[in-house]
Amino acid sequence: MERRDVMVRQVSRTFALSIEQLPDPLRDAVSVAYLMFRVADGIEDHATLPLDRKVALLRDWADVLDGVCPPERLAAGVADLDAADPEVEVIREAPLVLNWFHALPAAAQAPIRHHVHATTLGMARWQEHGPFVEDEAELDDYMHEVAGRVGYLVTDLFALQSEEIAAQREALLPLSRECGLALQTVNVIRGIRKDYERGWVFVPRAFYRPLGLSRHTLLDPAHEPQALAVVARLADKADRHLEHGLAFISAFPRHEHSLRLALMWPFLFAARTLALSRNNPDVLRREAKMTRVEIGGIVAQTRLFGRSNRWLAQYYRRLAAAPDNGRPPALSVAAETGGP
Protein backbone atom coordinates (compact mmCIF):
# COMPACT_ATOMS: atom_id res chain seq x y z
CA MET A 1 0.00 0.00 0.00
CA GLU A 2 1.31 3.46 -0.89
CA ARG A 3 2.31 5.88 1.87
CA ARG A 4 -0.49 8.22 0.83
CA ASP A 5 -3.13 5.53 1.30
CA VAL A 6 -1.69 4.56 4.69
CA MET A 7 -1.93 8.18 5.85
CA VAL A 8 -5.54 8.44 4.73
CA ARG A 9 -6.45 5.23 6.58
CA GLN A 10 -4.72 6.40 9.74
CA VAL A 11 -6.79 9.59 9.98
CA SER A 12 -10.12 8.11 8.84
CA ARG A 13 -10.84 4.49 8.00
CA THR A 14 -14.41 5.31 6.97
CA PHE A 15 -13.44 8.00 4.45
CA ALA A 16 -10.65 5.73 3.25
CA LEU A 17 -13.36 3.23 2.26
CA SER A 18 -14.93 5.80 -0.04
CA ILE A 19 -11.66 7.02 -1.52
CA GLU A 20 -10.06 3.63 -2.17
CA GLN A 21 -12.82 2.37 -4.44
CA LEU A 22 -12.77 5.43 -6.73
CA PRO A 23 -11.36 4.97 -10.24
CA ASP A 24 -7.95 6.34 -11.14
CA PRO A 25 -6.96 9.15 -11.63
CA LEU A 26 -9.86 10.50 -9.56
CA ARG A 27 -8.74 8.43 -6.58
CA ASP A 28 -5.33 10.15 -6.65
CA ALA A 29 -6.89 13.62 -6.69
CA VAL A 30 -9.41 12.92 -3.92
CA SER A 31 -6.77 11.24 -1.70
CA VAL A 32 -4.42 14.20 -1.95
CA ALA A 33 -7.26 16.71 -1.50
CA TYR A 34 -8.42 14.85 1.60
CA LEU A 35 -4.96 14.95 3.15
CA MET A 36 -4.66 18.67 2.36
CA PHE A 37 -7.94 19.33 4.15
CA ARG A 38 -6.68 17.21 7.05
CA VAL A 39 -3.62 19.44 7.42
CA ALA A 40 -6.02 22.28 8.28
CA ASP A 41 -8.29 19.99 10.34
CA GLY A 42 -5.37 18.67 12.35
CA ILE A 43 -4.34 22.18 13.30
CA GLU A 44 -7.87 23.33 14.13
CA ASP A 45 -8.79 20.25 16.19
CA HIS A 46 -5.55 19.82 18.13
CA ALA A 47 -6.35 19.49 21.81
CA THR A 48 -3.43 21.42 23.31
CA LEU A 49 -2.38 24.03 20.76
CA PRO A 50 -3.23 27.54 21.98
CA LEU A 51 -5.56 29.62 19.85
CA ASP A 52 -2.97 32.14 18.64
CA ARG A 53 -0.66 29.35 17.52
CA LYS A 54 -3.49 27.59 15.68
CA VAL A 55 -4.30 30.80 13.80
CA ALA A 56 -0.64 31.33 12.89
CA LEU A 57 -0.28 27.74 11.63
CA LEU A 58 -3.48 27.94 9.60
CA ARG A 59 -2.32 31.16 7.98
CA ASP A 60 1.05 29.54 7.27
CA TRP A 61 -0.78 26.70 5.49
CA ALA A 62 -2.76 29.23 3.44
CA ASP A 63 0.55 30.92 2.54
CA VAL A 64 1.99 27.55 1.50
CA LEU A 65 -0.97 27.08 -0.84
CA ASP A 66 -0.39 30.60 -2.18
CA GLY A 67 3.22 29.68 -2.90
CA VAL A 68 4.65 32.37 -0.61
CA CYS A 69 5.71 30.08 2.25
CA PRO A 70 7.68 26.80 2.06
CA PRO A 71 5.84 23.76 3.45
CA GLU A 72 8.91 22.98 5.57
CA ARG A 73 8.07 26.04 7.67
CA LEU A 74 4.67 24.58 8.50
CA ALA A 75 6.21 21.19 9.31
CA ALA A 76 8.77 22.86 11.60
CA GLY A 77 5.94 24.70 13.36
CA VAL A 78 4.58 21.40 14.74
CA ALA A 79 7.92 19.69 15.39
CA ASP A 80 7.27 19.75 19.14
CA LEU A 81 3.92 17.93 18.89
CA ASP A 82 3.43 14.20 19.43
CA ALA A 83 4.47 12.48 16.21
CA ALA A 84 2.49 9.36 17.16
CA ASP A 85 -0.72 11.33 16.52
CA PRO A 86 -1.77 10.56 12.90
CA GLU A 87 -3.22 14.08 12.56
CA VAL A 88 0.12 15.61 13.54
CA GLU A 89 1.92 13.28 11.12
CA VAL A 90 -0.15 14.65 8.23
CA ILE A 91 0.84 18.23 9.16
CA ARG A 92 4.50 17.24 9.51
CA GLU A 93 4.34 15.59 6.11
CA ALA A 94 2.98 18.73 4.42
CA PRO A 95 6.05 18.89 2.08
CA LEU A 96 5.35 15.31 0.91
CA VAL A 97 1.62 16.01 0.53
CA LEU A 98 2.48 19.07 -1.58
CA ASN A 99 4.72 16.91 -3.78
CA TRP A 100 1.77 14.58 -4.40
CA PHE A 101 -0.40 17.60 -5.12
CA HIS A 102 2.01 19.01 -7.70
CA ALA A 103 2.05 15.63 -9.47
CA LEU A 104 -1.69 15.86 -10.16
CA PRO A 105 -3.05 17.18 -13.47
CA ALA A 106 -3.43 20.97 -13.56
CA ALA A 107 -7.20 20.59 -13.99
CA ALA A 108 -7.39 18.89 -10.59
CA GLN A 109 -4.86 21.15 -8.86
CA ALA A 110 -6.83 24.35 -9.46
CA PRO A 111 -10.06 23.46 -7.59
CA ILE A 112 -8.14 21.66 -4.82
CA ARG A 113 -5.95 24.66 -4.15
CA HIS A 114 -8.91 27.06 -4.26
CA HIS A 115 -11.19 25.15 -1.89
CA VAL A 116 -8.52 24.02 0.59
CA HIS A 117 -7.21 27.59 0.74
CA ALA A 118 -10.71 28.99 1.38
CA THR A 119 -11.41 26.40 4.08
CA THR A 120 -8.09 27.07 5.80
CA LEU A 121 -8.76 30.82 6.02
CA GLY A 122 -12.32 30.10 7.16
CA MET A 123 -10.97 27.94 9.99
CA ALA A 124 -8.52 30.68 10.99
CA ARG A 125 -11.39 33.17 11.07
CA TRP A 126 -13.41 30.90 13.32
CA GLN A 127 -10.50 30.31 15.66
CA GLU A 128 -10.25 34.08 16.04
CA HIS A 129 -14.03 34.27 16.53
CA GLY A 130 -13.90 32.04 19.60
CA PRO A 131 -15.44 28.82 20.93
CA PHE A 132 -19.10 29.77 20.78
CA VAL A 133 -21.92 29.97 18.22
CA GLU A 134 -24.69 32.51 18.65
CA ASP A 135 -27.43 31.20 16.36
CA GLU A 136 -28.17 28.77 13.53
CA ALA A 137 -26.85 31.19 10.90
CA GLU A 138 -23.48 31.28 12.65
CA LEU A 139 -23.44 27.50 12.91
CA ASP A 140 -24.14 27.24 9.19
CA ASP A 141 -21.33 29.70 8.49
CA TYR A 142 -18.88 27.59 10.47
CA MET A 143 -20.08 24.35 8.89
CA HIS A 144 -19.85 25.86 5.43
CA GLU A 145 -16.17 26.62 6.00
CA VAL A 146 -15.27 23.17 7.32
CA ALA A 147 -17.66 20.93 5.34
CA GLY A 148 -19.73 22.83 2.78
CA ARG A 149 -16.63 23.76 0.81
CA VAL A 150 -15.60 20.11 0.83
CA GLY A 151 -18.87 19.39 -0.98
CA TYR A 152 -17.97 21.99 -3.60
CA LEU A 153 -14.58 20.37 -4.17
CA VAL A 154 -16.02 16.87 -4.46
CA THR A 155 -18.42 18.14 -7.12
CA ASP A 156 -15.64 19.87 -9.04
CA LEU A 157 -13.38 16.80 -8.97
CA PHE A 158 -16.16 14.40 -9.90
CA ALA A 159 -17.08 16.71 -12.78
CA LEU A 160 -13.59 16.08 -14.18
CA GLN A 161 -14.42 12.37 -14.26
CA SER A 162 -17.88 12.61 -15.85
CA GLU A 163 -19.25 14.89 -18.55
CA GLU A 164 -22.76 14.21 -17.23
CA ILE A 165 -21.78 15.50 -13.81
CA ALA A 166 -20.00 18.47 -15.35
CA ALA A 167 -23.19 19.37 -17.20
CA GLN A 168 -25.10 19.44 -13.87
CA ARG A 169 -22.40 21.24 -11.89
CA GLU A 170 -24.29 24.46 -11.17
CA ALA A 171 -27.34 22.57 -9.91
CA LEU A 172 -25.21 20.16 -7.88
CA LEU A 173 -23.12 22.74 -6.02
CA PRO A 174 -25.81 23.92 -3.56
CA LEU A 175 -26.85 20.31 -2.93
CA SER A 176 -23.23 19.35 -2.29
CA ARG A 177 -22.99 22.12 0.30
CA GLU A 178 -26.12 20.81 2.01
CA CYS A 179 -24.65 17.32 2.06
CA GLY A 180 -21.54 18.70 3.76
CA LEU A 181 -23.67 20.56 6.30
CA ALA A 182 -25.61 17.35 6.99
CA LEU A 183 -22.48 15.40 7.85
CA GLN A 184 -21.12 18.25 9.96
CA THR A 185 -24.37 18.69 11.90
CA VAL A 186 -24.16 15.00 12.81
CA ASN A 187 -20.54 15.57 13.82
CA VAL A 188 -21.65 18.38 16.13
CA ILE A 189 -24.11 16.01 17.81
CA ARG A 190 -21.74 13.05 17.90
CA GLY A 191 -18.86 15.12 19.27
CA ILE A 192 -20.77 17.36 21.67
CA ARG A 193 -18.96 15.97 24.73
CA LYS A 194 -15.50 15.86 23.15
CA ASP A 195 -15.81 19.42 21.82
CA TYR A 196 -17.03 20.62 25.21
CA GLU A 197 -14.01 19.09 26.91
CA ARG A 198 -11.66 21.01 24.61
CA GLY A 199 -13.51 24.26 25.26
CA TRP A 200 -15.78 24.48 22.22
CA VAL A 201 -19.58 24.50 22.11
CA PHE A 202 -20.91 24.37 18.55
CA VAL A 203 -24.51 24.19 19.73
CA PRO A 204 -26.04 27.62 19.02
CA ARG A 205 -26.82 29.67 22.12
CA ALA A 206 -30.24 30.32 20.60
CA PHE A 207 -30.95 26.57 20.97
CA TYR A 208 -30.23 26.26 24.69
CA ARG A 209 -30.75 29.68 26.25
CA PRO A 210 -34.59 29.52 25.99
CA LEU A 211 -34.42 26.29 28.03
CA GLY A 212 -32.57 28.00 30.87
CA LEU A 213 -29.19 26.52 29.97
CA SER A 214 -25.79 28.13 29.53
CA ARG A 215 -22.65 26.81 27.83
CA HIS A 216 -21.45 25.78 31.31
CA THR A 217 -24.61 23.87 32.26
CA LEU A 218 -25.44 22.38 28.85
CA LEU A 219 -23.94 18.99 29.74
CA ASP A 220 -24.74 19.08 33.44
CA PRO A 221 -26.51 15.77 34.28
CA ALA A 222 -29.03 17.73 36.32
CA HIS A 223 -30.31 19.31 33.10
CA GLU A 224 -30.32 16.20 30.93
CA PRO A 225 -33.96 16.52 29.69
CA GLN A 226 -33.32 20.06 28.46
CA ALA A 227 -30.04 19.02 26.83
CA LEU A 228 -31.80 16.15 25.03
CA ALA A 229 -34.33 18.67 23.70
CA VAL A 230 -31.41 20.66 22.30
CA VAL A 231 -29.98 17.52 20.68
CA ALA A 232 -33.42 16.80 19.19
CA ARG A 233 -33.46 20.26 17.61
CA LEU A 234 -30.01 19.65 16.13
CA ALA A 235 -31.17 16.24 14.90
CA ASP A 236 -34.14 17.84 13.13
CA LYS A 237 -31.71 20.25 11.48
CA ALA A 238 -29.51 17.34 10.38
CA ASP A 239 -32.58 15.64 8.88
CA ARG A 240 -33.32 18.68 6.72
CA HIS A 241 -29.76 18.77 5.40
CA LEU A 242 -29.73 15.01 4.84
CA GLU A 243 -32.78 15.22 2.58
CA HIS A 244 -30.81 17.57 0.30
CA GLY A 245 -27.87 15.18 0.52
CA LEU A 246 -30.09 12.40 -0.76
CA ALA A 247 -31.06 14.58 -3.72
CA PHE A 248 -27.36 15.28 -4.37
CA ILE A 249 -26.42 11.62 -4.57
CA SER A 250 -29.53 10.70 -6.55
CA ALA A 251 -28.60 13.23 -9.23
CA PHE A 252 -25.44 11.29 -10.11
CA PRO A 253 -25.70 8.92 -13.09
CA ARG A 254 -26.53 5.36 -12.07
CA HIS A 255 -23.67 3.97 -14.17
CA GLU A 256 -21.18 6.03 -12.10
CA HIS A 257 -21.63 3.54 -9.30
CA SER A 258 -18.21 3.99 -7.69
CA LEU A 259 -18.73 7.76 -7.49
CA ARG A 260 -22.19 7.28 -6.00
CA LEU A 261 -20.80 4.85 -3.43
CA ALA A 262 -18.09 7.30 -2.41
CA LEU A 263 -20.86 9.78 -1.53
CA MET A 264 -23.34 7.22 -0.27
CA TRP A 265 -21.22 5.72 2.47
CA PRO A 266 -20.44 8.83 4.56
CA PHE A 267 -24.01 10.00 3.96
CA LEU A 268 -25.55 6.75 5.24
CA PHE A 269 -23.03 6.46 8.08
CA ALA A 270 -24.17 9.93 9.17
CA ALA A 271 -27.83 8.91 8.93
CA ARG A 272 -27.21 5.81 11.07
CA THR A 273 -25.15 7.76 13.61
CA LEU A 274 -27.97 10.28 13.87
CA ALA A 275 -30.44 7.47 14.54
CA LEU A 276 -28.18 6.13 17.30
CA SER A 277 -27.87 9.61 18.83
CA ARG A 278 -31.47 10.76 18.74
CA ASN A 279 -33.17 10.67 22.17
CA ASN A 280 -30.10 8.93 23.56
CA PRO A 281 -28.71 10.33 26.84
CA ASP A 282 -25.41 8.58 26.17
CA VAL A 283 -24.62 11.08 23.40
CA LEU A 284 -24.25 13.73 26.14
CA ARG A 285 -21.63 11.62 27.92
CA ARG A 286 -19.57 10.04 25.17
CA GLU A 287 -19.18 9.93 21.41
CA ALA A 288 -21.85 8.01 19.50
CA LYS A 289 -20.30 5.50 17.11
CA MET A 290 -21.40 2.83 14.69
CA THR A 291 -20.05 -0.70 14.99
CA ARG A 292 -17.87 -2.31 12.35
CA VAL A 293 -20.70 -4.75 11.69
CA GLU A 294 -23.04 -1.86 10.91
CA ILE A 295 -20.49 -0.23 8.62
CA GLY A 296 -19.89 -3.51 6.80
CA GLY A 297 -23.62 -4.09 6.37
CA ILE A 298 -24.15 -0.67 4.79
CA VAL A 299 -21.17 -1.15 2.46
CA ALA A 300 -22.41 -4.56 1.34
CA GLN A 301 -26.01 -3.47 0.79
CA THR A 302 -25.10 -0.38 -1.21
CA ARG A 303 -22.62 -2.24 -3.39
CA LEU A 304 -25.41 -4.59 -4.41
CA PHE A 305 -28.38 -2.25 -4.73
CA GLY A 306 -27.10 1.33 -4.63
CA ARG A 307 -27.63 2.00 -8.33
CA SER A 308 -31.35 2.34 -7.64
CA ASN A 309 -32.43 5.75 -6.37
CA ARG A 310 -35.70 4.28 -5.15
CA TRP A 311 -33.86 1.67 -3.12
CA LEU A 312 -31.44 4.28 -1.79
CA ALA A 313 -34.24 6.56 -0.56
CA GLN A 314 -35.99 3.67 1.17
CA TYR A 315 -32.79 2.32 2.72
CA TYR A 316 -31.78 5.79 3.94
CA ARG A 317 -35.15 6.28 5.64
CA ARG A 318 -34.96 2.88 7.29
CA LEU A 319 -31.48 3.62 8.58
CA ALA A 320 -32.57 7.03 9.83
CA ALA A 321 -35.42 5.45 11.79
CA ALA A 322 -33.76 2.12 12.53
CA PRO A 323 -34.75 0.17 15.65
CA ASP A 324 -31.99 -0.12 18.21
CA ASN A 325 -31.10 -3.69 17.35
CA GLY A 326 -27.41 -3.14 16.63
CA ARG A 327 -27.77 -3.87 12.92
CA PRO A 328 -28.68 -1.66 9.97
CA PRO A 329 -31.76 -2.95 8.16
CA ALA A 330 -31.63 -4.85 4.90
CA LEU A 331 -34.23 -4.41 2.20
CA SER A 332 -36.01 -6.98 0.10
CA VAL A 333 -34.31 -7.17 -3.27
CA ALA A 334 -37.44 -8.19 -5.14
CA ALA A 335 -39.65 -5.56 -3.58
CA GLU A 336 -37.42 -2.53 -3.48
CA THR A 337 -34.81 -2.40 -6.22
CA GLY A 338 -37.03 -1.54 -9.14
CA GLY A 339 -36.94 1.83 -10.87
CA PRO A 340 -34.33 4.58 -10.86
Q: What per-residue confidence (pLDDT) applies to 335?
A: 32
Q: Is the pLDDT of residue 337 over 60?
A: no
- What is the pLDDT at residue 61? 98
What is the mean predicted confidence (pLDDT) over 217-243? Answer: 97
* Residue 10 CB burial class (10 angstroms; 0-12, 13-18, ≥19): middle
Q: pLDDT value at position 289?
A: 84
Q: Please give the residue that has the higher pLDDT: either 42 or 327.
A: 42
pLDDT band of 266, cuts 50, 70, 90? very high
Confidence class of residue 334 from pLDDT cuts 50, 70 and 90? very low
The distance in angstroms from the start CA to the end CA of the chain is 36
- In angstroms, the CA 102 to CA 1 distance is 21
110 or 292: which leads in pLDDT: 110
Contacts of 180 (CB under 8 A, 6+ apart): 143, 144, 147, 148, 149, 150, 151
Residue 64 has pLDDT above 90, yes or no: yes
Write out pLDDT tens, residues 3-33.
999 999 999 988 999 999 999 999 999 999 9
| Model confidence band, residue 70 (pLDDT cutoffs 50, 70, 90) | very high
Model's pTM, two decimal places? 0.93
Reported confidence tier of residue 322, pLDDT bands at 50, 70, 90: low
Q: Which domains does the chain have, with CATH numbers?
A: 1-113 (no CATH), 131-340 (1.10.600.10)
Residue 140 has pLDDT above 70, yes or no: yes
pLDDT band at 339 (very low <50, low <70, confident <90, very high): very low
Whether residue 71 is predicted with pLDDT greater than 50 in this model: the reply is yes
| Biggest distance spanned by C-alpha atoms of the chain | 59
For the chain, give the mean pLDDT: 93
